Chains A and B, each alone.
Chain A
Amino acid sequence: MNDTRRMLAEMADPLFAELGPGATMERDWPRIEELGLPQLLVSEADGGFGGSWEDALVVFRLAGFHALALPLPEAIIASRAEEGSDTHFLLGAFARSAQIAGALDAALGIAVAYVNERQQFGRPLGKFQAVQQSLASFACEAAAANCAAMGAAQALDRGEARFEVAAAKLRANRAVGIGTNVAHQVHGAIGFTREYGLHELTRRLWQWRSDFGGDAHWSKVLGEAVIARGADAFWPDLTARTDPEQRD
């Protein structure tokens, strides 16, 4: 992470943690505006922060991690695309991928802490192999969602990113299924209560899976694109997306 992004994270993390799922527009939005976060992607010439999509990834991910109940990702995207446009839909999908990645990491952290604490049969739940293996699967899914979101951010910074955002949202969507399932399963009944905060993450994850394209939408888009290009183009296309331009 470069210095700009570290600074962004150090600024956003404590504020989002404080505001979290209980935030309200009336009371808390001015604090978000004070930091200039809605103008993250607006150029410095126009009074913004002049940030990149990798910078936005940091903010979106932390918003997801802390289940921030403010429409900050929406505001950031609105500075780049008109609502209802294809580009807006694509950028929304990217934002949700990043929020999902953050919320999965948060839910995983809560689940791990819980099973190390909760005792049954005379030992912590985390000592049972069945519980360990479930959480390991969850960790793999969270890792995949995070890597996919990063890949999409890099592609957006390079330019055309339809394939990458579609792939990242689809991958993140699929991670939601396993992640929320395991997070609740290892918590037992307590995770199902309003009082315990797990639902602040999991209910958002379920919502975000459908926002800006669910699994069916993005698998159709990706499948059509890959088939239209043909089998012989798949691998060359995939590598060309990341290879540096050839310098003759």
Chain B
Amino acid sequence: MQTFATEAIEWPDTAVQLREQVRALVAEHGEGDPVRRANCWTKADPAFSRKLGEAGLLGMTWPKDYGGHERDQLERYVVIEELLAAGAPVGAHWIADRQSGPLLLRLGNEELKRRWVPAIARGEAFACIGLSEPGSGSDLASVRTSARRDADEWVINGQKVWTTGAHVSHFMIALIRSEAGSERQAGLSQFVIPMDAPGVSVKPIIDLTGAHEFNEVFFEDVRLPASALLGEEGQGWRQATAELSLERSGPERYLSSMVLFLKLVRHAEAHPDPAVRDLVGRLAAEAWTLRLMSASVAAKLARGEDPALEATIVKDLGNSYEQAIPELVQAAVEMDLAGEEALARVTAYLLQVSPSFSLRGGTREILKGIIARGLGLR
């Protein structure tokens, strides 16, 4: 049994030059506060996103005809791992660049593509994903938000919840029941909904740190043209789940606490301690391994394969790693969590947000179920 086929990764020749470009850009326009650098792909900074767009670092792999730059997938991988390792505030465009743009290019009609894709590549249009609903979390096939045909239009009613970035987004790609009376995975479609459409309202949900990252989104008789349907009517489930390898295996699944690891190294430089030294060694070994695993999935995706099982393994291991770091650091170093020292501030912040790491994008239990099925269980 070999669950994770390994092979050499061919890193692009441009890797060094791209890293220098990103490092310079982050040094000039990035985030100074170490707490803001933690879990940075939830930190929205539209001005920073526009800088990336101007630098040609968004929509990197997309056709030039749609504002992209026709670079290869691993070149994009180099850029995003650099941004995440540096704690750059990439939250505004993250979902649009990672998922929504590629999905629109793959399935969207010309009108949708022209309207949104070039704007994403410029760092001017941001997206959110409408999946979860009040009665529909891990059990995603139970969505009830409905789309009803009315002559040439669709009329949307219902509610989404836990929608990250809805308040800074320009459009949502939502999974919606388009066939009345349909059950489970059948009768679902994806729609592109402009957030300024009449009848769409966004209500903040404040998280336990006091931050506003996710939202409730309500649809009240929202009227959309026929062209708002993304891909095929009734194929929403297949379309939405096909993108998951892309979403699950990226470097954001293990780098959310990298800034804290680096603070720990900085601390150890000044305060020699065998326990901290050993922890640094162990966490470094894990980071090195996870980077190879994540990049290996990216290389397979770039070749057009769908390494769904490997991607799920990367997310599960990566989330466990980034979630364990704050707890391990707290156990290894005496600190005043309410104090002003950077190490303590980042630890305190990550202790509070890290429970979300094994929830977002598929809970640990759901992921392990997928891995078990991949092993031939169930």
Complex CA–CA separation, A222 to B268 (angstroms) = 13
Query: A-B pairs with the 7 shortest C-beta distances?
Result: A223-B281, A222-B281, A109-B1, A143-B4, A219-B281, A132-B372, A223-B277
Instruction: Answer whether residue B292 sits at the interface, using C-beta atoms and an 8 A cutoff.
Output: yes
With A112-B375, A167-B288, A218-B285 given, can you name 19 additional A-B contacts, CB distance below 8 Å?
A105-B1, A108-B1, A115-B377, A126-B377, A129-B369, A132-B378, A139-B3, A139-B375, A140-B316, A146-B2, A150-B7, A171-B286, A220-B274, A223-B280, A226-B280, A235-B85, A239-B81, A242-B295, A243-B15
Within 8 A of B (CB), among A148-163: 148-151, 154, 163
If A140-B313, A143-B3, A246-B17 touch, whether A223 touches B278 (CB-CB below 8 Å) is yes
Please pick, from B258, B277, B288, the residue contacting A227 in the complex, using a CB distance under 8 A: B277
Instruction: Answer whether residue A54 sits at the interface, using C-beta atoms and an 8 A cutoff.
Output: yes
> Which A residues have a C-beta under 8 Å from some C-beta of B?
1, 54, 105-106, 108-109, 112, 115-116, 126-127, 129, 131-133, 135-137, 139-140, 142-144, 146-151, 154, 163-164, 166-168, 170-171, 174, 215-216, 218-227, 230-231, 234-236, 238-239, 242-244, 246-247
Asked if A164 and B265 sit within 8 Å, CB to CB, the answer is no
Asked if A126 and B266 sit within 8 Å, CB to CB, the answer is no
A-B contacts, 14 of them at CB < 8 A, read: A108-B1, A131-B377, A139-B313, A140-B316, A140-B371, A143-B293, A148-B285, A148-B289, A151-B292, A163-B288, A218-B281, A219-B278, A235-B86, A243-B15
Complex CA–CA separation, A227 to B268 (angstroms) = 7
The proximity string for B residues 251-282 relative to A, scoring 1 for CB distances below 8 Å and 0 otherwise, is: 00000001001110110110000101111111
> Which residue from chain B places its CB closest to the CB of A216 in the assembled complex?
B278
Residues of A within 8 A of B375 (CB): 108, 112, 135-136, 139
If A143-B313, A218-B281, A223-B284 touch, whether A135 touches B377 (CB-CB below 8 Å) is yes
B7, B278, B377: residue with the most chain A Cβ atoms closer than 10 Å: B377
Complex CA–CA separation, A109 to B310 (angstroms) = 17
If A54-B8, A135-B377 touch, whether A239 touches B281 (CB-CB below 8 Å) is no
Instruction: Answer whether residue B6 sits at the interface, using C-beta atoms and an 8 A cutoff.
Output: yes
Residues of A within 8 A of B372 (CB): 126, 132-133, 135-136
Interface size on B, residues (CB 8 A): 63
Within 8 A of A (CB), among B282-330: 282, 284-293, 295-296, 310, 313, 316-317
